[in-house]
Amino acid sequence: MEFSAKQIADILSGDVVGDSNVTVNGLSKIEEGTSGTLSFLSNPKYEEYIYKTGSSICIVNKSFQPSKALPDTLTLVKVDNAYSSFAKLLDFYNQLQIKPAKIEQPSFFSESAKAGEGLYLGAFAYIGDNVTLGENVKVYPNAYVGDNVTIGNNTILFPGVKVYANCVIGQNCILHSGVIIGSDGFGFAPNEEGEYQKIPQIGNVILEDNVEVGSNSTIDRATMGSTILRRGVKIDNLVQIAHNVEIGKNTAVAAQAGIAGSAKIGAQVQIGGQAGIAGHLHIAEGTQIVAQSGIPNTVKRKSVLMGSPAIDIEDYKKSYFGFRKLPFILKKIQEFDNHIKATKKD
In Å, the largest CA–CA distance within the chain is 99
Q: What angle do CA 264, 173, 267 make, to 5 degrees?
A: 25
Cis status, amide bond into 66, omega within 30 of 0: no
Among residues 176, 243, 280, 282, which one is catalytic?
243
Closest listed residue to residue 288, CA positions, set 314, 262, 313: 313
Is residue 243 among the annotated active site residues?
Answer: yes
CB 38 within 8 A of CB 22: no
DSSP state string for 226-284? EEEE-TT-EE-SS-EE-TT-EE-TT-EE-TT-EE-TT-EE-TT-EE-TT-EE-SS-EE-
DSSP state string for 300-331? -S--EEEETTEEEHHHHHHHHHHHHTHHHHHH
CB 229 within 8 A of CB 210: no
Three-state DSSP class for 52? coil
| 183 vs 199: CA distance, rounded Å | 13
Any residues with CB less than 8 A from the CB of 173 and at least 6 apart, and which? Answer: 151, 152, 155, 156, 207, 209, 210, 211, 212, 213
CB count, 10 Å around CB of 3? 18
**Residue 207 burial class via C-beta count within 10 angstroms: exposed 0-12, middle 13-18, buried 19 and up:** buried
Active site residues: 243
